[in-house]
Amino acid sequence: MNSPRWIYFTLFVLSASMLSFEVVSTRIASVVFVQNYAFIVLSLAILGLGSGGIFSYYKIKPRDNQFKAVFRSLIAVGISLAFFMVAVIEFAVVNPFIYFLLLFLPFFFGGIVYAQIYKLYSLLSYKLYASDLSGAAVGSLASLALLNALGGPNSVVLLAVVICWLSMRFTQVAKRTNAAVMFSSLVAILLGVLIANGQKELLGRVPIGEFPQKDFYHVYPDPSIRSEIIDSRWSMYGRADLVQYSHQDMVKQLFIDGSAGTQLYRFNGNIRRTNSILQELLLQHTNSIPFVCMKENEKRSMLVIGPGGGKDVLIGLFGEVQKIVGVEVNPDFVQMVKDYRTFDGGIYTDFPNVNIVVEEGRHYVRQTKDTFDLVVMALPSTEQMQNIEPFAMSENYLLTKEAIQDYMRILTPEGKLIFTVQTGGNSLVVQSLVFSQFCRRPFRWVFCTHRVYRW
């Protein structure tokens, strides 16, 4: 138990777990709250670790059993991690004060462990620091792997199990062979169950907080309409949810962390013989209007930046565009559309003239050597940017002056840019802008409810 090598390993695993939890918890916080709240996690991590170190200095005396203090703090880290996840899911904790108090505790107990280890092995501080930094580096990468493989809740449970196993090395139980083997076997079984379940959340689904920015609660104003999440997938981009509604089976919605909704339409896969309701729904979107006015040589190829659920791809197919390329940054959206091909008609898989690329839009535009007659963006926002107003926190680079120059570069001589943007936050006014290579001033359509105006 006093072996320095084991101490190095303990500090390595603890640092990897703490940093992984810090990253994973930001993604969980983005589901429960709005994006800005997620940044508080980073501050709480620093506050918790610092507070734990201060507590250790003043409250744990040299005459106390130092190793027992490490064990108790480690087991407290594991229990607080598990309790945090259970409370958020089972008790639907969405109150910010309670939520962030629960989030603070693992970092606080972790700070006590750090302080005690550095106090006990102060002469080896440089090696301890190397283990600490190495664990943090591994944890930063492991967090991404955990999110993709297990999702948010299961990742936190796995970290809790690992920390609890680590704590047992500081007790007399670790010296008893039978007890140590039994406990290690139990840990292995729990880890196996978590890995085997993958992203299937064992504790349940993390609730989406009711905030005005959460489009999940504002798709339909009628409170009697019930929504049901039928599929959820975690990644570094957040949690992607596919939602169906009780009053219709024509349109499903895709959300990222409960925001930035995008439609997935029921389609039979046949352009010539399709549901008239689908055609009417598509015509209500302002992006459809320019296709009515275009000649055949003006829509030979189209680039869609951020196709999401495939609405603009579907508009392009009905508009008889010969070649469609969609660039979507969220791989979960793309995979969901592909997996539900029986509902959406296989718009991402069954049409040879449609090619979907998983990549960031600006990067693709700057790297491609192809040219397009049309470059289309419809509400190209994440939950971080719901409108085009110049907020400092809107880290979206799709509508900058330099971006427009990049789009113009890949247009054919008769090419056009078609943008649909939302103004005024949750306003009902949606504007479609059509920029041509040769016009000094863009044409503009404003769509409000069911009437279209042009000036």
Q: Is residue 103 part of a domain?
A: yes
pLDDT recorded at residue 122? 83
Q: Is residue 187 part of a domain?
A: yes
- 209 Cβ neighbours under 8 A, 6+ residues apart: 31, 32, 33, 34, 94, 258
Tens place of pLDDT per residue across the chain (455 aa):
456 788 888 899 999 999 999 999 999 998 998 766 777 888 889 999 999 999 998 888 766 566 778 888 999 999 999 999 999 998 888 888 888 899 999 999 999 999 998 888 888 888 999 999 999 999 999 999 999 988 999 999 999 999 988 887 666 544 555 666 676 777 778 878 878 877 788 888 999 988 887 888 888 888 889 999 999 999 888 899 999 999 888 999 999 998 888 899 999 988 888 878 888 888 887 778 888 788 888 889 999 998 989 999 999 999 889 999 999 989 999 999 999 999 999 999 999 999 999 998 889 999 999 999 999 987 655 444 443 333 333 456 777 888 888 888 999 888 888 887 765 544 334 444 555 554 444 444 444 333 333 32
Q: Is residue 373 part of a domain?
A: yes
Q: Is residue 106 part of a domain?
A: yes
Structural domain ending residue among the three candidates 168, 197, 226 = 197
Shared-domain flag, residues 181 and 311: no
Shared-domain flag, residues 301 and 448: yes
Q: Is residue 22 part of a domain?
A: yes
pLDDT recorded at residue 282? 86
pLDDT recorded at residue 173? 47
Q: Which domain holds residue 157?
A: 4-197
Q: Is residue 121 part of a domain?
A: yes
Shared-domain flag, residues 55 and 161: yes
Structural domain ending residue among the three candidates 149, 165, 197 = 197
Number of structural domains (the chain) is 2
pLDDT recorded at residue 49? 93
pLDDT recorded at residue 134? 94
Structural domain ending residue among the three candidates 162, 197, 232 = 197
pLDDT recorded at residue 364? 93
pTM summary value:
0.83
Chain centroid offset of residue 129 CA: 32
